[in-house]
Amino acid sequence: MSTRSWCTVCVLGLWVTAFAADAWGQAPEGPADRPGRMKQRLLEKYDKDGDGQLGPEERRAVQQDVRDGKLEVPAWLRERWQQRGRGPGARPGGPRGERPGGFGGPGPGMVREKVEIEQDVEYGKAGERPLKLDVIKPKEPKSAALPVVVFIHGGGWRAGDKRGGTGRLAPLVATGEYVGVSVGYRLSGEATWPAQIHDCKAAIRWVRANAEKLGADPNRIGVWGGSAGGHLVNMLGASGDVTELEGECGSPDESSRVSCVVAFCGPANFRAPKEFEGGRRPSAVDQLLGGKIEEHEDLARQASPITYATDDDPPFLLVHGDADPIVPYEQAEMFRDALKKAGVDVTLLTVKGGGHGVGGPEVIRRVNLFFDRHLRGQDVEVSDEPVEQRPFARPQGRPGGPPQGRPPREGGPRRPGGPGFGQRRPPNAGPPPVELPAREPQ
């Protein structure tokens, strides 16, 4: 991508992600509140995987709405896009610099050609409410019974969408070595705990019951999730076949046990002394439990994966930023120690300087190795050597300068590692630092 094209995408990215750094927080009233309200609206509409950031596919949706006039942005930005031939119909096949396919990452068009997606497959019911998932299968499977990776989206248990899992799973599935499943579940605005784990366990049972139809091996099911999804996959791994958490949402004759777990920034102990979300109340955890944690001690214990750590749990890969302002890093350390004490195979991958929402090529490489080891029986090692948070990348030829057409930011240059989604900023702190999300496109 040319420097000019990079700058154009960067300007829109800066405008959008300036509002997307703090989805769970509440901004103060007054003029400074406008970006806070706007970023919340943007996340509610475009953050499909609920990780508090706008990934490549989500940003493309924003860009398209800007070009179509469906999203209000500053006049200078809209004019610039139109002047550079980015208006509707300007270039067949999409904006310059944007590759086809929609999955992000290298060669998304090739990825799309290698997978087939079946959306909104019903896996059970909660009363009369249908529960649905998406299935991603390789067009050229390497065997008749592939291992399955089930993705559980994040979003504070109150936002997010299963469609976000497609981008995460598609490159894995495109290898022909895996089947992918992305699960939708009831959010806390609809039903409080334990509805969420009931739904996720029903999805695992459905996968096992339909393994032959999926071209899958029912005895090789891995799970992957981030944030709230990280909590739910931690629960799936630690509480396999715990009767009180099974629910009655579908496929009752099957087991809900899984073969391995990858959890990004996932809570593990709701009764720990260090508070979530920097102490903001009511928190997403409060909403999940139906009230303050301290008023629902039994539910908090039941909803904590650490409660169920036993020697029959599957292998875990915990990935967590040591500067996470939403789910304290100590949660991962605490859970790792509990699993180790129980005799479980557990690896904690620390992202140095990482906030809430981690990724990058090296993180994804280790996730792939972990699944290859535990689902495909490959003789590979998964290192626990810490990974550095990727810094903010500026376009070549313009080191340190502000985006074209914009004045320098007051208060110094931009910095990487700003507040994660949901971090509450101090009163009178002004608008949040602007940064492009440093996450691996999937």
The string of pLDDT tens digits covering residues 13-27 is 544 444 333 333 333
**346-352 sheet: strands from edge to edge:** 115-126, 129-138, 179-183, 146-152, 216-226, 260-264, 316-321, 346-352, 387-388
Six-digit token string for 266: 């996932």
pLDDT for 167: 87
Q: Which residues pair with 320 in a beta bridge?
A: 350
Domain boundaries, given as residue ranges, for the chain: 1-98+404-442, 108-388
DSSP assigned state of 149: E
Q: Which residues contact 335 (CB under 8 A, 6 or more apart)?
A: 234, 268, 269, 305, 306, 309, 316, 318, 346
Q: What is the mean pLDDT of each run of 10 residues along the chain (442 residues)?
A: 46 45 37 57 72 74 68 61 45 35 46 93 97 98 98 96 92 97 98 98 98 98 98 97 94 97 97 82 92 94 98 98 96 98 98 93 96 98 93 44 40 36 37 35 38
Q: Which residues contact 109 (CB under 8 A, 6 or more apart)?
A: 99, 100, 101
Six-digit token string for 112: 């799309």
Tell me the residue length of the chain: 442
Residue 397 CA to residue 33 CA, distance in Å, equals 35
Q: Are 100 and 110 in contact (CB under 8 A)?
A: no
Q: Are 255 and 316 in contact (CB under 8 A)?
A: no
Q: Which CATH superfamily is domain 108-388 in?
A: Alpha/Beta hydrolase fold, catalytic domain (3.40.50.1820)
pLDDT for 395: 41
Residue 411 CA to residue 157 CA, distance in Å, equals 35
Q: Which amino acid is at 210?
A: N
pLDDT for 97: 35
pLDDT for 260: 98
Q: Are 158 and 433 in contact (CB under 8 A)?
A: no
- Report CA-CA distances (Å) from 295 to 109, 238, 289, 420: 51, 24, 10, 27
